[in-house]
Structure 1
C-alpha cells in the first residue's frame, strides 16, 4: 500500500482517516435539500408516518449502495470512483460517457447551482442586496479551489469545519422543532384530511427523498487519498451514511412536531418557517446562516471529488493530458481543480446551471446503477482473491439497489420526460465526441 513516505511525487498522498472520510460522506450528502425537500414529500403523503417511512426506506436503499461502494473502493482504492470501475469492467466508452456527463457537466453544474444557493442565503443572512449574489458565488468557488490547490489536508480541514457547522444547524433545527416550538408528537401520526396519497404520489414522493440522499459517492472519487483504504473506506462510508440517516429522520420528526403535517406540506421553506415561528425574523436569519454553511461545505466536496475524476480522465488520455497531472509538492490535481472551478464560474455568470443539473440527473443515477453493477464483474473476475471487506447479503443488496435505481429512472422519465430526454441526448452526444477525441489522440501520438 502506498503511504506518505514512499509514494512517488506523481501520485496522491493517503492522508484521509475514518473521521475525515465520514465527514466527506456527510458533507457530500447533506446540502440544502433537507432544509426544503421535506415539504415536497409532505405534499405527496397523507400523514407523518408514511413520510417518515419514506425517509427511512430511502436511507436503507442508499445504505445498500454505500455498502456496495465500500467493496468497490476496497478493491480499487484509487482516485476516479465510478469512472474507474466502469473503465475496468465495461471498457473506455462507457467510462468516457460517464465522465463526459458527470465531470464535465453535472459536477460543475452542481457546484454552480449550490454556490448560487449559498450566495442567496449568505446575502440574506448578511443583508447584502440580491445583486451581490453572483459575485459572492464566484468568490466562494474561487476560495474553495484556492484552498484545495494545497492538497487534501487543506481541503479536508475545510470539509471538516463546514460539516461540523451544518450538523450544528441541524441540531439547532431539532431543538427548535422538538422542544421550543411547543408542538406535540401527535403531529407525527395525525393524518391530513386534505391529502390523499395515490400510488403515483408515493412514487413522486420517493424521488425527492432519494435525490436528497445523493452525493454519497464523493469519497470513492478521492479513494487514492484514504489511509488504509481497504478498511477505512467501508467504515467511513457506512458511518457517514448512518449519520445522515439519523439527521434526516430526526429533522423530519422535528418538522412534524413543530409544524404538523399540514403545516409542513404548505411550507415553501420549512426550516426557515420553523425557526421564524420561534424566533421571528431573527430565526430566518439564523437558519440562512446554517444553510449557507451547509451548501458551502457541499461545494468544497464536489469540487475536490469532481477534480479527481477529471484528473483520472486526463491521465487515461480521455481528456487533456495536462489535466491528468498531480502537482508534486502538494500532491493535488491543480490543473483539474482550476478547470473545474473556471467552468463552474462560467456557469454561475451565465446562469445556465439549473437546466444542466436537471438534464444530467438521469445520467447521474444511471452512473450509480452501472457503477454498482460492476461489482458483479469484480466478483466474477477476482472473487477468489481475499478481500478485507465484502458487501453483506451479496448478491441481494447490489441487485436491490440496481433494480430500484432503474425503477427510479423510469419514474423520472414519466414524471419529467423533457429533462430525462435531454439527459439521454447529452449521454448520446458523448459517443461522437469520444470517437473524435480518440481519432485526434491517435493523430497527436502518430
Structure 2
C-alpha cells in the first residue's frame, strides 16, 4: 500500500487556522442535525413491513439506538485522541495510511457528501414547493437556491453556518415534539381516516427464532441508515472550544437525544396509525398529524420536514468541506482547497467546489442513482473508522499517552459496532449486487487519482 501509518500531513502554506468558536450547544445541534434528516419520516413504514409486529418494530429501533450509542462512544474516544479537522479522514490516515483515507475523501467528494447534498436539497425543495402551493417543477430551482444560499452562509463563517443549523435543528425538534405530544396525548378527530396503500400491504410476523433474527436483521438496515450521521461532527473538531473535552460530550448527548426522539416518534406513529396503517403509509408523520389536528397538523409537520431536511443539508455542507480541506493539506487534493480564508477562517475553496459538484449532480439528475451505488461504502468507512480505535489506542499506549475519555466496553463494544456496520454492508450488497459492483467501480476510480496526487506530493517535497 502506498502511504502508511507514519504519514503526516503537509504543512499548509497559510498561517490561518480554524477558529474555535463552537460550544457545547452548537456541537450538540451539529450531531442532532447531522443525524435527523428525512429518514425518520420515511423508514418506519419499511421497518414495520419487515418485522410485522409492534414489539419487534420498537425492538429494531431500540437495537439501532444501542448501536448508535456504542458508535457515539467510539467516535468520542477517537475525537479525544485526535481532535483534528477532518475527523474520519484523519483517523483512517493515522491508523491505516493515506490510501484508505483518500478513498474516503474521494467517495465523499464525488458522491456520498455531494450526492447527499443534492438529494436532500431536492427532498426539502419538493416539500417546500408543496407547502407554498407551487407546481412540482419549482422543486429544482428551489433546491439550487438552497445549496447556493447555505454554501454562502457557511463561507461567511463557521458561527453563521452553525447558527443557521442550530435554528433549523431546534425547529425540527419542535415539530417532532408536536407530533409526539399530539399522538400520545390527544384523541383522534372524528373524521380521521387511516391511510390506504395503493398496493395492499400484507404483514407476516416471523415465526420461530430463525425467522425473527432474519426479519430483525432486514429491519436494521433502514434503522441504522436513519441513525447514521453523528460521525461527521468529528470533522469540525478544531472549531469546537476545548475539543478534547467538548467533542465527546456533544457526541454522546446528541446521539442520546436522537435515540430518544426516534423511539418516541415510532411510539407516536404506532398509536396514531396502528400497525397496518403505518405499514401502508407513505407519509406517516403527515398522516399522524392529520388524524389528530387535521389539515393544520399536516401543514405544520410538512413545515417540520422542510426544516429537518434543510437543517440536515446545512450540516452536511459545513462538515464535509472540512474533510476535503484536510485531504488537500496533506497534498492529496487541489492546493487551493487546503487554504482557509484569512477573515472568515473557513475552507472557502472546499465549500465552493463542493457546491459546484453538488449542483452538477442535481442538474444531471444522477445523484439518486449514484447514491444507491455507494450506499454500502458509507458503512464500510463507518466500520473501518471504528476499527482504527484498536490501532490508535495501542500506538498511544506505546508512547505513554493516556486520555480520560474511553469507549465503555472496548474492545467488545467496538467489535459489536464493526459487526453491525459489516451487516449493513452485506445487506446492501445482497439486496442489490449490481449497485454494489458499480459503487466499487466508482471507488476504484479513486486509485489512479490517488497515484497522481502522491506523485504530485513527492515532487513538491523534493522541490526546494
TM range (shorter): over 0.9
Aligned to 1:117: 123
- How far has the Cα of 1:96 moved from its partner? 0.8
Q: Which 5+ residue runs of structure 2 have no aligned equivalent?
A: 1-13, 190-200
Count of equivalent residues = 431
- How far has the Cα of 1:423 moved from its partner? 2.0
For the pair 1:22 / 2:28, whether they are aligned, the reply is yes
Q: TM-score, normalised by structure 2?
A: 0.90
Alpha-carbon distance in structure 1 between the residues aligned to 2:149 and 2:262: 29
- How far has the Cα of 1:249 moved from its partner? 0.1
Matches within 5 A, 1:78-89: 78-89=84-95
Alpha-carbon distance in structure 2 between the residues aligned to 1:25 and 1:344: 22
- How far has the Cα of 1:255 moved from its partner? 0.5
1:121-179 alpha-carbon deviations (Å, 9 max, x no partner): 00011111111100100101111011111221111111110110010110111022112
For the pair 1:317 / 2:331, whether they are aligned, the reply is yes
- How far has the Cα of 1:200 moved from its partner? 3.5
Alpha-carbon distance in structure 2 between the residues aligned to 1:254 and 1:357: 30
Alpha-carbon distance in structure 1 between the residues aligned to 2:159 and 2:456: 37
Q: TM-score, normalised by structure 1?
A: 0.93
Alpha-carbon distance in structure 2 between the residues aligned to 1:281 and 1:346: 37
The answer as to whether partners of 1:124 and 1:285 remain within 8 angstroms in 2 is no
For the pair 1:39 / 2:45, whether they are aligned, the reply is yes
- How far has the Cα of 1:277 moved from its partner? 2.1
1:20-77 alpha-carbon deviations (Å, 9 max, x no partner): 1111000000001111110110111121111011111101111111101001111111
Aligned to 1:168: 174
Q: 2:54 aligns with which of 41, 48, 53?
A: 48
The answer as to whether partners of 1:71 and 1:389 remain within 8 angstroms in 2 is yes
Aligned to 1:195: 204
Aligned to 1:409: 425
For the aligned residues, what is the CA RMSD?
Answer: 1.7
Alpha-carbon distance in structure 1 between the residues aligned to 2:127 and 2:329: 38
For the pair 1:423 / 2:445, whether they are aligned, the reply is no
Distance 1:317 1:9, change over 3 A: closer
- How far has the Cα of 1:362 moved from its partner? 1.2
The answer as to whether partners of 1:231 and 1:388 remain within 8 angstroms in 2 is no
Alpha-carbon distance in structure 1 between the residues aligned to 2:28 and 2:456: 41
Q: Which 5+ residue runs of structure 1 have no aligned equivalent?
A: 1-7, 184-191
Alpha-carbon distance in structure 1 between the residues aligned to 2:204 and 2:269: 17
- How far has the Cα of 1:281 moved from its partner? 3.3
Aligned to 2:375: 361
- How far has the Cα of 1:341 moved from its partner? 1.0
The answer as to whether partners of 1:9 and 1:329 remain within 8 angstroms in 2 is no
